[in-house]
Structure 1
Amino acid sequence: MNFNIKEAFLIFIRGLLMGAADIVPGVSGGTMALITGIYGHLIEAISNIKFGFIKPLFKGNLKGFWNQLLDEIDFKFFIPLVLGIGVAFLTLAKVVTYCMDVHTALTYSFFLGLIIASAVVLFRKLNEISIKTIISAVIGCILTYIFVSLNPIAANHSLIILFFSGMIAICAMILPGISGSFLLLLLGQYKYMLNALHQLHFTEIIVFVVGALIGILGFSKILNYLLKNHEELTMAFLIGVMLGSLKVPFVEISNAVSMNFSGLLPCIIIAVIAFVIIVIMETKFDYID
Structure 2
Amino acid sequence: IGLTLGGVPVVWKMIDRVTGGVWIGAIVGFVVMAAVASIQSLGVKTTAASDSLPLMFIAGIFGASAMILPGISGGYLMLVLGVYVPVLGAIDTVWEAVKSTNFSQAIPPMLTVIIPLGIGVVIGVVTVSNALKWLLARYARPTLGVLLGLLVGAVVGLWPFQEPVKPVVGQVVKGQVMTEEKITKLDKDDWPTQTFTPAAGHIAGAMGIVLVGFSVTLAIAWFSHERKAVLAGETKNSS
* TM-score range relative to shorter protein: 0.5 to 0.7
Q: What's 2:90 paired with?
A: 196
Q: Which amino acid aligns with 2:208?
A: I
Instruction: Flag as ranges the 4+ runs of structure 1 deviating above 4 A.
Output: 158-161
SS at match of 1:150: helix
**1:233–1:156 distance in 2 versus 1, CA, 3 Å:** closer
Instruction: State how many pairs are aligned.
Output: 177
* C-alpha distance in 2 between matches for 1:279 and 1:183: 21
Q: Within 2, Cα distance between the matches of 1:188 and 1:254?
A: 17
Residue equivalent to 2:31: 142
What is the aligned partner in structure 1 of residue 146 from structure 2? 237
For 1:118 and 1:147, how far apart are their aligned partners in 2? 19
Distance 2:71 2:77 in 1: 12
What amino acid does structure 2 have at the position aligned with 1:241? L
Matched residues in 1 for 2:50 and 2:158: separation?
A: 27
Cα drift, residue 248 of structure 1: 1.6
Q: How does 1:19-98 map to 2 (within 5 A)?
A: none
Shift of 1:265: 1.0
The CA deviation string for residues 230-256 of structure 1, in whole angstroms up to 9 with x for no partner, is: 222211211111111111222x33449
C-alpha distance in structure 2 between counterparts of 1:164 and 1:130, whole Å: 32
Contact 1:177 1:245 (8 Å CA) reproduced: no
Farther off after superposition, 252-261 or 129-138 = 252-261
Please name the residue that 1:104 is paired with.
none
Q: What displacement does 1:178 show?
A: 4.3
What's the counterpart of residue 127 of structure 1?
16
Equivalent residue for 2:3?
A: 114
Instruction: For 1:230 and 1:185, locate their aligned partners in 2 and report how far apart those are by CA, in whole Å.
Output: 30
- Is residue 2:120 matched to residue 1:211? yes
After TM superposition, the score normalised by the length of structure 1 is 0.53
Question: Paired residue for 1:185, among 40, 62, 79?
Answer: 79
Matches of 1:241 and 1:183, distance apart in 2: 11
Show the counterpart of 2:155.
246
Deviations 1:251-271 (A, max 9, x none): x33449861222211111111
Separation of aligned partners in 2, 1:194 and 1:139: 31
Which residue of 2 is the match for residue 176 of structure 1? 70
Which consecutive unaligned segments of at least 5 residues does structure 2 have? 95-105, 164-194, 233-239
201-210 vs 237-246, which deviates more? 201-210
Q: Cα RMSD over matched residues?
A: 2.7
Contact 1:159 1:207 in 2 (8 A): yes
Amino acid across the alignment from 2:20 = I
* Aligned residue number for residue 69 of structure 1: none
Q: How far did 1:122 drift?
A: 1.4
Q: Looking at secondary structure, tell me which structure has more strand per residue.
A: 2
1:278 partnered with 2:217:
yes
Residues 19 and 141 in structure 2, CA contact (< 8 A), matched pair in contact too: no
How many angstroms apart in 2 are the aligned matches of 1:237 and 1:161? 24
Gaps of 5+ in 1: 1-111
Q: Kindly indicate whether the alpha-carbon contact (under 8 Å) linking 2:6 and 2:71 is maintained by their aligned counterparts in 1.
A: no
Q: CA deviation at 1:194?
A: 0.8
Among all aligned residue pairs of Structure 1 and Structure 2, give the percentage whose two residues are the same amino acid: 24
* Whole-Å separation in 1 of the counterparts to 2:78 and 2:89: 13
Deviation at 1:186, TM superposition (A): 4.5
Residue 263 of structure 1 corresponds to which residue in structure 2?
Answer: 202
Report the secondary structure of 2:151's partner residue.
helix
Distance between the aligned counterparts of 2:141 and 2:22, measured in 1?
A: 7
Q: Deviations over 1:22-80 (max 9, x none)?
A: xxxxxxxxxxxxxxxxxxxxxxxxxxxxxxxxxxxxxxxxxxxxxxxxxxxxxxxxxxx
